[in-house]
Each structure stands twice: as structure tokens, then as C-alpha cells.
Amino acid sequence: MSDNPLRRFPGTGTAALAFFVFLYAPVVVLIALSFNSGRSSTLWEGFTFDWYGVVLDNPDILRAAKNSLIVGTISTVLSTMLATLAAIGLDRARFRGMNAVNSVIALPLVVPEIVTAVATLIFFLSIGLKLGLGTVILAHVVFCIPFAYLPIKARLEGMPIAYREAAADLYANEWQTFRRVTLPLLWPGVIAGAMLAFITSLDDFVITYFVAGPGASTLPIYIFASLRMGVTPEVNAISSLMLVVSILFVSVSAWIGRRSK
């Protein structure tokens, strides 16, 4: 194994350690304080699970969680379907303007999210759409497409064309080749893209805040509204639960990726 030349620079290890501590220490503190028996957000007073019970018994939190699941599920299904069709349509395509098409698909990744949120709000208002859960879903579908598209596109690019050529040699038509060869090999990329899209939708705040109407609050919006009254163990418990869900989805996606190799 070759030695990494970056390790030879003095202070690299210390800088890396400081980086990870700065990045993850607040998360560890947040999770720890979600088990704090007192209401203080800084002083430890004892261990308890009571705040998780408070979260699960709060109808406003459950309503926001339901909205998040509805928006996340529908937007994930639609964005993954559109991303899959786009990836297959552009797979090994060679035409003038192809790079421009790929850039347009990936545009939400580079455009500041606040710009996307304001533009989406103006568009919805200009065509007369009433803000609510439906507008949140539409905005999330568009925003999540590139997150689902990239893993699917990467999976297609790594798929040997010889498999499809062999299917054609066995007199399989395009639909049979797609159903029996391409799609089974593509599933890990589709699932990875869907999980990434779901996590992106679940955690999104900026776009949701602008295009959500009355009764369309999701968990990030509820957390933001709760922070106006101060950080409490209840808010820490909600954030910890969302973190667990995100870690679970990422772990399942990685496990599926290993099993598919």
C-alpha cells in the first residue's frame, strides 16, 4: 500500500481531527441532551426517555411527521421514475446539446436553494396554484430529480453493454431486454437514488418553508417554529429521530449496494 503524501505535512492529522470534532461533536451533544431530564438545553440534570414520549404524544408533531412522510414518499416515487426515464433515455446517447441537457438536470444541485424556493413560489403564484401540500410535493419532485438521477446514471454507465447485446443476440426485443436485463441490474442504483431523494425531501426546509400553505407544515418547519421559543429537549428528541431515520436509510442503501456486487 502506497503512503499517502498528505500525511507527511505537519499538522495534517491534528487538522483532520479538529475538523471531525467540529463537525460531529454538536450532533453528539444534541443526541445526549435529548435524554436530559430537565428542560435546560445546556445543563445536564439526569437521564430520561420522557422527551421521546412527549414527542410521540404531541399531535402537532405527529401531523408534521405525517406531512413529511406523505411529501417524501410521493416526491420520491415521482422523482425516481422521472430520473430513471431520463437516465435510460440519455444512456450512451450522442447528440448536440447533450451536455446542456445533463447540466439542466443537475441544475438544482448548484443553484442556491433560496433562489429555487423564491422562483418556485413566484411560479406557483403566477399560475394561480393555491399553496399547500400539493405545491410542496411538486416543488420537491423537481428538486429531488437530480439526487435520484446521479446514482441511476452512474449505475447505467457502469453496466457493460455486452449484456444487452447478448440479449439482442437471443432475439429479445427492447422491452424484454429492459425488463429482464437492464432493470434487474439497474435496481441498486434506483433504490440508492430513491433513498437519497427521500432523505433530501425529508430534511428540506428552505423550499418547503416558501411553498407550504396552511396545514402543510413538515417536521423541519415545526422544528424551526419551535426554536423561536428556545432549544428544548423536545426539539433535540425530534432532531435525533430524524437523524436516526437518515442514518438508517444510508445504511440500507450501502447494504444493498454491497449485496448487488
Instruction: Report pLDDT for 225.
Output: 85
Greatest CA separation for the chain: 72
- How many C-beta atoms surround the C-beta of residue 19 within 10 A? 10
| Distance separating the N- and C-terminal Cα atoms of the chain | 24
* Three-state DSSP state, 82: helix
Sign of the Cα pseudo-torsion (67, 108, 236, 73, in order): positive
Asked if residues 171 and 127 have their Cβ atoms less than 8 Å apart, the reply is no
Asked if residues 90 and 102 have their Cβ atoms less than 8 Å apart, the reply is yes
pLDDT in tens, 123-159: 999 998 888 899 999 999 999 999 888 888 888 877 7
Angle ∠(159,141,69) on CA atoms, nearest 5: 105
pLDDT in tens, 37-57: 877 767 778 888 888 888 888
CATH 1.10.3720.10 corresponds to the domain 51-259: yes
Domain coordinates of the chain in residue numbers? Answer: 51-259
List residues bridging with 47 in a β-sheet.
36
Q: Which residues are CB-contacts of 26 (< 8 A; sequence separation ≥ 6)?
A: none
Report the C-alpha gap between 83 and 73 in whole angstroms. Answer: 15
Instruction: Report pLDDT for 71.
Output: 93
One DSSP character per residue, 35-74 reads TBSSS-SSS---B-SHHHHHHHH-HHHHHHHHHHHHHHHH
Whether pLDDT at 1 is above 60: no
In degrees rounded to 5, what are phi and psi of residue 171? 70, 30
Whether pLDDT at 227 is above 90: no
Report the C-alpha gap between 156 and 162 in whole angstroms. Answer: 13
Cell numbers given for 32: 445526549
Report the C-alpha gap between 140 and 137 in whole angstroms. Answer: 5
Report the C-alpha gap between 90 and 183 in whole angstroms. Answer: 15
pLDDT in tens, 165-213: 777 767 677 777 777 777 778 888 888 889 889 988 988 899 999 998 8
Instruction: Report pLDDT for 92.
Output: 67
